[in-house]
Amino acid sequence: MKTIIYLFLPLIGMSVQGQVGINTENPHATLDVMSNVVDVTKPDGIIAPRLKGNELKNKDALYTDNQTGTIVYITEGLELGSTTEKTANVTRVGYYYFDGEVWQPFERDTLETVANRGNYSPKYITFSGSTASPTRDGALGMNLQTYSMFFGNMNPMHTGTYNLSYGYGALQNLSTASGNVAIGSYSLNGVTTGAYNTLIGHTSGYDSSNTGKIITGNVNVGLGNSTLTKLTSGYKNIAIGQSALHHLNTGSYNTIVGQSSGQFVTAESKNVMLGAQTGAYVKGENNVFIGTGAGHSNTVTSVETVNNRLVIHSNVNLVPSANIGTENIVDYSASWTNGLIIGDFAQRWLKINGSFIINPSYTISDTTYTKDVVAKPDGTLGFTDRILVPTPPATGTYYLQSVDGKLQWSAP
């Protein structure tokens, strides 16, 4: 043993210099403890001071910078509500070391133990990278300055408040915008200043062919993968259904419901479409298309501009397909000129491309009905004043003549 020991009688002190070895004559550190392989009747190991959590807490004032590195073993943890600043972590059995300010457990805290103590993590939790070099690709956290929450890789340098994202690439370029909700990979990836948008679905609001696209539009709603893909400055649009309003960029006030519906609208506004694939290859403003495949173009393969039109129809030849992105058979009778019911809001007319039948059981007529319906050869309807014909006498021979502008029955 390489050591020098000085004893001062009557044993009131002892000084040790060099290195101390236990069960070894060649210590390699200040204290080197080896196992006793000869005597198998004695246990090996080093036992740190053992005490209960409340006993350690009672000695709070004794632990300062001078005690940094002290090791103890806690045999009974403190209750969550009875800890001090130094013993905040001492809530379970185990080894602890003093870091100069707080007792730290040898065993890393689990998410459960942190939550059970009522504590929080001031940093995000990452699920990617390594311990030495974590990445934010799969991070779970909250920005304490903006109250934005995320599970993915939301831009940590944003200043906008109350944003929520779930998915890789979602809100990745967020800056000053507030109140956005993005759920799905790359959802609202390009939002910078656009606020109060809600997009749910894989790549909703994201253009893979233009990954640097910036979104400044506000109050848009998209539900379904690839909705509002080209969106830039458009605002107050609603798109529900896979690829709905796919090409819209600057248009506003569009309400579209249906798979692939309204996907050729770009800068136009105030359209309402309801039904799968409505408005195929048609763009324009202030249109209302209702029914599966209603209002598609007459050319099918090229985009037509249509404004102020009403179309109510349904594609009778539609063949449902489970394949993603598959377009169905086009029914020309459902086009914006051939639909069963079409109209023009600006010119204020309505046309029925089919028979018009009224159930007579629900019709009435009396002297207050003073107009007759007349029609042109092209089917355009109009009204004319009704000519009232008096009821003829029950018996005898009479002829109808005009007397002072009124019809009357006269005897020969």
Taking a C-beta distance cutoff of 8 angstroms, is the pair 73, 49 a contact? yes
Q: What is the pLDDT of residue 7?
A: 39
* pLDDT (tens digit per residue) in 268-278: 999 999 999 99
Tokens for 244, please give them.
């709905």
Residue 89 within any structural domain of the chain: yes
Quote the CA–CA distance of 122 and 246 in Å, as a whole number. 39
Q: What are 339's two structure tokens?
A: 């639909």
pLDDT at position 364 over 50: yes
Question: Of 30-39, 106-115, 364-373, where does mean pLDDT reach its minimum?
Answer: 106-115
Residue 401 lies in a domain: no
What average pLDDT is seen over the chain?
A: 88
Q: Provide the pLDDT confidence category of residue 2 given band limits of 50, 70 and 90.
A: very low
Q: Is residue 69 part of a domain?
A: yes
Confidence (pLDDT) at 3: 45
- Reply yes or no on whether the pLDDT at 317 is more than 60: yes
The torsion defined by the Cα of 275, 276, 282 and 285, in degrees rounded to 10, comes to 30
Q: How far apart are CA 279 and CA 277, in angstroms?
A: 6
What would the pLDDT profile of 298-310 be if each residue is shown by its tens digit?
A: 987 789 999 999 9
Residue 123 pLDDT exceeds 90? no
Q: Give the integer Cα–Cα distance in Å for 170 and 151.
A: 9
d(CA 136, CA 157): 13
Low-confidence winner among 108-117, 223-232, 271-280, 286-295 (lowest mean pLDDT): 108-117
Closest CA to 228 of 212, 208, 207: 207
Total of domains in the chain:
1
For residue 70, the enclosing domain spans 50-114
Q: Report the pLDDT value the prediction gives residue 360, as an integer from 0 to 100.
A: 86
| Residue range 51-63: mean pLDDT, rounded | 96
Range of 117-121, 254-258, 364-368 with top mean pLDDT: 254-258
Is residue 136, in this structure, part of any structural domain at all?
Answer: no
How far apart are alpha carbons 298 and 303 in whole angstroms?
9
pLDDT tens per residue, range 160-199: 999 999 999 999 999 999 999 999 999 999 999 999 999 9
Residue 242, Cβ density class (10 Å: 0-12 exposed, 13-18 middle, ≥19 buried): buried
Question: Judging by beta carbons within 10 Å of its beta carbon (0-12, 13-18, 19+), is residue 307 exposed, middle or buried?
Answer: middle
In a domain? residue 86? yes
Domain assignment present for 410? no
Distance in angstroms between the alpha carbons of the first and the last residue of the chain: 156
CA dihedral 336, 342, 344, 348 (to 10 degrees): 170
> How far from the centroid of its chain's Cα atoms is residue 309's Cα?
33
Asked whether residue 175 is assigned to any structural domain, the reply reads no
Residue corresponding to tokens 């253009």: 207
pLDDT mean over 381-407: 87
Measure the CA–CA gap between 289 and 278, rounded to whole angstroms: 7
Is 90 within a domain?
Answer: yes
The pLDDT assigned to 289 comes to: 98
